[in-house]
Structures are given as structure tokens and as C-alpha cells.
């Protein structure tokens, strides 16, 4: 793998590879940008097939965090730590202590937190070595499911904004929303939508979660493969990435796509395909920024109510993206990238 080329491709600032022989830790820390402030982004722990996969994932995820922070108006940049493999429970504490020591050497250029495969308890261990960590026990982000709830709240508000953009009315009454994935975010989202009078169609690979939504909200259930072709007003992807692709887009029967999942577009061209199909796409990293907004609020010393108010700004950001898309005749995904890049270029030397 050509490391410099990979960094240049994503315009990443710094790539740090660390290994600790005692614990067996091998971690890639990618810092995409600190132009707006310290790089935020959780620590993912995963069995990557190759080292190259881990490095590419870290670079890609860090860039996504930069764009998410920039478009949301946060004074933070983007980074990501990717720990290779899964240590057994015996070594786990040593691994995260070593990670904390490496993060400390970066002197605040990167602040870590939880992501796929890591837990609040892991972050408590990191905390023993560095203050540059969020999601520790007792923190706002790690209390209950506040982060997931705020992500769902942001998505719900973004749906209202999208309805307004689409037909000039943001009422959810008689609006049908198809929710893909009833995990932490998807289940909070269903609660908001049901409370606002929306009709729900739901799917999940976990049958119990589907049964719960049917019972609690009177939702109609469909097989996971059939969610794309459902007749609905809004399709809300809240499970996997890359689900908007050559095979699914032609099936869609919705007017709006607004959901929490990261990296919904398989490729950039799929944003253009949605635009050409007349489907209003709420760019994922704009509408799902509730979690990172809460993290930033906590780092800035704000409490829950201020964090919640800051999540409410997602509506205005989305509106700016939609206006730019219309006035420039470009896809909403491209308009979001442009807005993020404008904010970044204003602070670059």
C-alpha cells in the first residue's frame, strides 16, 4: 500500500501507526483535519482482513468526521482510531491503557470515544492515561442512550425539514415512514414518529425488535429485502451503510430519504441518481450529526438541555444544504460536501 498516496487521496493530515508489544495493541490513528479544532472520532475495534483495510477504513472514517463536524458548524476536526483484532478479556485492559498512552502523546490533536466494538468500560481504561477521551462512565454521552436518542431526534427534525422542503408542510400526520433497522437509533426514531402521528413500516433482521414495533406503534412489518420497494413518503435507513446503490435506487417508491445510517450512498454517483429520480436525499452526515453535536457540547462544558438545543440546528443546516442544491442545480450530497469544504477553506491558511 502506498501510504502517502492514500493520505493525499483523502487529504489527511496525519497517520499514526502504533504497536505495544506487552499488550499486543496494534492501532491506526488517522487525523484527517485539525483546521477547525481537535480531531473527534471514536475508536473502532475490528478484525480487519488486512492492515491495508484497517488503514483505509481509518482514513475514510476520519474524513467523514471532518465533514460532519464542519457542516454542523462545530469547532472540531475529524479523526478515528482503529484497533486491529479483538483482544481476549484478559488482555483488553492492557490494550486500552496502551491506547490511552499513545493518544496522550498526541497532546489533544485527537480525542477518542466509543465506536463499533468498543465500550464505555474501554474508555474508562483509556481515561487512566489521558484526558483526551469521551464516553466515559458518568459522561453525558454515556448516560442512558442519550447519544442515540439525540441522533434520532436530529433525524426526526431533519425529516420535518425535508417534508417542508418537499411540499411546504412539515406535518407528520398521515405521512408514512419506512424504517430500516430498529436498533438504538431506529427505535427512538419510531417513538418520535409515532408521537407525531406518522404511520410506520418497519424492518429488522432481529424479529423481536420488529414484533416490539408492531405492538407498540401499530407498525406494518416487512421482510428486510422488501423495505426498498415499499410505497412510503420517507425512507429512513437506520442500519447499514451503502444501501443506496445501483440495485436499490430503482426500487425506491419514496419522495424523501432521511435516516441515521452512516455512508448511505454506495458511491458519489448515487447522490446524483437520487437527484435525477426526484428523490430528496437528506445527506447522512448532516442529518445524523446529533451524536457528535452532543459530544462537542459535552467537551465544551454544556449540559443536556443546551446539547439538545444545539441538535435542533440540524434543521437549519439541512435547509441551507437544500437551498444550495436548488440554486446551484447540484445533488444534495454534493451541496453538503461543498458547504463542509467552504467552512474548512475559510480557516485554512
Contacts to ligand NAI by CB under 6 A: 147-148, 151, 180-186, 203-206, 209, 224, 238-240, 260-262, 288, 291
The nearer residue to ligand NAI, 71 or 148, going by C-beta atoms, is 148
The number of beta carbons lying within 10 Å of the beta carbon of residue 125 is: 20
The nearer residue to ligand NAI, 59 or 152, going by C-beta atoms, is 152
The nearer residue to ligand NAI, 196 or 240, going by C-beta atoms, is 240
Q: How far is the CB of 348 from ligand NAI (least distance, A)?
A: 26
Is residue 97 within 8 A of residue 26, CB to CB? The reply is no
Query: What is the length of the chain?
Result: 349
Give φ, ψ of 281 to 5 degrees: -105, 120
Return the C-alpha cell found at 223. 421482510
The nearer residue to ligand NAI, 126 or 213, going by C-beta atoms, is 213
> Could you tell me the CA-to-CA distances from 293 to 61, 68, 87, 290, 317 in Å, in that order?
17, 9, 31, 5, 13
Q: How far is the CB of 269 from ligand NAI (least distance, A)?
A: 21
Q: How far is the CB of 313 from ligand NAI (least distance, A)?
A: 16
The nearer residue to ligand NAI, 106 or 182, going by C-beta atoms, is 182
Beta-ladder partners of 27: 18, 83
80 part of the active site:
yes
Residue from 26, 80, 93, 184 carrying the catalytic annotation: 80
Q: How far apart are CA 255 and CA 253, in angstroms?
A: 7
Q: How far is the CB of 331 from ligand NAI (least distance, A)?
A: 21
Return the C-alpha cell found at 30. 488517522
DSSP per-residue letters across 22-79 = TTTEEEEEEEEE-SSSSEE--EEEE--SSHHHHHHHHHHHHHHHHHHHHHTT-S-EEE
Chain centre distance of CA 22: 33
Is residue 210 within 8 A of residue 222, CB to CB? The reply is no
Q: How far is the CB of 21 from ligand NAI (least distance, A)?
A: 33
The nearer residue to ligand NAI, 25 or 71, going by C-beta atoms, is 71
Residue 203: name the closest of 226, 184, 169 by CA: 226
Q: How far is the CB of 208 from ligand NAI (least distance, A)?
A: 10
The residues that are catalytic are 80
Amino acid at each position: 500500500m502506498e501510504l502517502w498516496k492514500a493520505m493525499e487521496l483523502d487529504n489527511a493530515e496525519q497517520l499514526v501507526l502504533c504497536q505495544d508489544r506487552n499488550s499486543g495493541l496494534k492501532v491506526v490513528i488517522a487525523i484527517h483535519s485539525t483546521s477547525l479544532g481537535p480531531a473527534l472520532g471514536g475508536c473502532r475495534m475490528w478484525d480487519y482482513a488486512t492492515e491495508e483495510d484497517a488503514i483505509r477504513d481509518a482514513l475514510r472514517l476520519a474524513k467523514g468526521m471532518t465533514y460532519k463536524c464542519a457542516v454542523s458548524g462545530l469547532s472540531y476536526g475529524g479523526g478515528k482510531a482503529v484497533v486491529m483484532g479483538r483482544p481476549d478479556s484478559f488482555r483488553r485492559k492492557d490494550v486500552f491503557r496502551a491506547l490511552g498512552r499513545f493518544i496522550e502523546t498526541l497532546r489533544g490533536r485527537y480525542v477518542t470515544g466509543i465506536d463499533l466494538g468498543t465500550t464505555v468500560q474501554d474508555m474508562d481504561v483509556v481515561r487512566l492515561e489521558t484526558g483526551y477521551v469521551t464516553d466515559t462512565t458518568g459522561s453525558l454521552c454515556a448516560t442512558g442512550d442519550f447519544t442515540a436518542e439525540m441522533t434520532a431526534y436530529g433525524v426526526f427534525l431533519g425529516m420535518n425539514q425535508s417534508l417542508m422542503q418537499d411540499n411546504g408542510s412539515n406535518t407528520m400526520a398521515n405521512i408514512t415512514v419506512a424504517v430500516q433497522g430498529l436498533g438504538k437509533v431506529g427505535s427512538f426514531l419510531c417513538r418520535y414518529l409515532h408521537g407525531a402521528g406518522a404511520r410506520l413500516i418497519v424492518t429488522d433482521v432481529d424479529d423481536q425488535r420488529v414484533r416490539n414495533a408492531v405492538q407498540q406503534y401499530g407498525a406494518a412489518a416487512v421482510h428486510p429485502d422488501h423495505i426498498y420497494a415499499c410505497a412510503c413518503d420517507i425512507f429512513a435507513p437506520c442500519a447499514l451503510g451503502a444501501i443506496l446503490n445501483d440495485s436499490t435506487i430503482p426500487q425506491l417508491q419514496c419522495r424523501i430519504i432521511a435516516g441515521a445510517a452512516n455512508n448511505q450512498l454506495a458511491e458519489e454517483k448515487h447522490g446524483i441518481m437520487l437527484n435525477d429520480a426526484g428523490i430528496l436525499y437528506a445527506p447522512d452526515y448532516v442529518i445524523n450529526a446529533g451524536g457528535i453535536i452532543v459530544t462537542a457540547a459535552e467537551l465544551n462544558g454544556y449540559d443536556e438541555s443546551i446539547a439538545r438545543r444545539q441538535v435542533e440546528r440540524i434543521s437549519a443546516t439541512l435547509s441551507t444544504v437544500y437551498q444550495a442544491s436548488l440554486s446551484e442545480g447540484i445533488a444534495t450530497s454534493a451541496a453538503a460536501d461543498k458547504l463542509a469544504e467552504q467552512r474548512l477553506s475559510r480557516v485554512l491558511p
